[in-house]
Structure 1
Amino acid sequence: MTLREEKQALRKEIAALKRGYSVQALQTYSQKALRHLEEDELFRKAGCVALYYALPGEVQTADFIEKWYKVKQILLPVVVGDDLSLQRYIGKDHLRKGAFDILEPETTPILPETSYPELFIVPGIAFDRQLNRLGRGKGYYDRLLSQPDTPAIGVAFSFQLRDRIPTEPHDRKMTRIITDSEIVG
């Protein structure tokens, strides 16, 4: 099996596992994972945090973003061609559906240098105990996270955490992985 086929097989396996959980169960697991994140020192210290607005089946972040955007500067990704750009979140009334039907800020995705995030919080399809991340395969987050100096925390459900996942040299390791049941890193 090629590396690409291994990644696709793992994506299908995780998707099948997700279908075995109710929306309510995934919401409960999301809340647990995000409570762990709130207690994390990297999150507590960061004044500017890049987050994501969740797709169905990802750790749900909408309530978390609402809770924190008045305390911390929250940046959300906006799809611009083949890349992600970051835009400040200023409230749910200023969101629109963007690429892939993901909610994103409706204003121009341009940030001054002073708004570079001190921490990235990222979703993934799967993570492993060596802090690797498997995404959806488009490379958006690999390109966004190409600056290795900024810490990145992957958030996931416990069934998305594996001992090992297939990786490539350009894959960015996470600083930490937080699930509903454990923290790695």
Structure 2
Amino acid sequence: MQKFEIRVYKQELRTRFKAIRQEMAPEDRIESDRRILSLLCNTWQYHSADTVVTYVSTPLEVDTKALITRALADNKRVAVPYCVDNTRDMEFYYISSIDELKKRTFGVLEPVAEPKNLVTDFSGSICIVPGLAFDRQGYRLGYGKGYYDRFLADYRGFTIGICYKSCMTHLLHRGRYDIACDMVVTENEHILCRKTRRE
């Protein structure tokens, strides 16, 4: 019997779900992004959060730039990731505008690492988590770099994955370091995932 290789399995899925996203019509993507933002911002978790911790989207991902703008307009603090050189670690820094971000690691927009803006206390926050795909238990298919797996291992706030419905799957096989999100939001629904739900 052939041995199951989770790395090979995940790489095959990455190829599949990247293709799905690349084939989305621009107008469908824009509408899906709008609907995901609307559903996300209507959750009580968003309304009650003082801080929104979020990734900064690339063209392949569910848009978060509109979320950043919305959260700042809602008088929330917004923190985005900075990839620490020569590690698989991220630090998060508060920003007050998208214009403060600069292209850096992997061509992704990142904040300037100003010590005064470093987040040291994540209490009162929610974290918006990226992924190429999610299952209905909240587990995600990431990009294989491990940055979010490391961060989420110690993060104690409420986590929300955002995903296109076409990239949802019933079940993702997972490794020992994979951590489920508390909720996943698509353009159609929000799914509470963990058996111990923090409602």
TM range (shorter): over 0.9
Report the CA distance between 1:182 and its aligned residue.
1.7
Q: Which of 90, 94, 97 matches 1:88? A: 94
Report the CA distance between 1:19 and its aligned residue.
2.2
> What is the rounded CA distance, in whole Å, between the counterparts of 1:149 and 1:182 in structure 2?
24
SS of residue paired to 2:180: coil
Q: Which of 33, 38, 41 matches 1:38? A: 41
* Cα 1:117–1:12 shift into 2, 3 Å: farther
Alpha-carbon deviations, 1:6-46, whole Å to 9, x = none? 11111111111112212232121011111110011111100
Residues 93 and 119, structure 2, Cα contact 8 Å, conserved in 1: no
Residues 121 and 155, structure 1, Cα contact 8 Å, conserved in 2: yes
TM-score (norm 2): 0.87
Structure 1 residues without counterparts, runs of 5 or longer: none
* Cα 1:168–1:32 shift into 2, 3 Å: same
Deviating 4+ runs (over 6 angstroms): none
TM-score (norm 1): 0.93
User: Pairwise CA RMSD of aligned residues?
Assistant: 1.6
Aligned to 2:9: 6
Residues 69 and 89, structure 1, Cα contact 8 Å, conserved in 2: no
Larger Rg belongs to? 2
Q: Which of 5, 25, 29 matches 1:26? A: 29
- Name the structure, 1 or 2, with higher relative contact order (CA <8 Å, separation 6+): 1
* Cα 1:171–1:74 shift into 2, 3 Å: same
Instruction: Give the 5 Å matches for 1:128-167.
Output: 128-167=135-174
Aligned length: 185
Q: Which of 62, 68, 79 matches 1:75? A: 79
Residues 26 and 57, structure 1, Cα contact 8 Å, conserved in 2: no
Report the CA distance between 1:117 and its aligned residue.
5.8
Alpha-carbon deviations, 1:120-166, whole Å to 9, x = none? 00110111011111100110000111125211100010011100012
Residues 92 and 119, structure 2, Cα contact 8 Å, conserved in 1: no
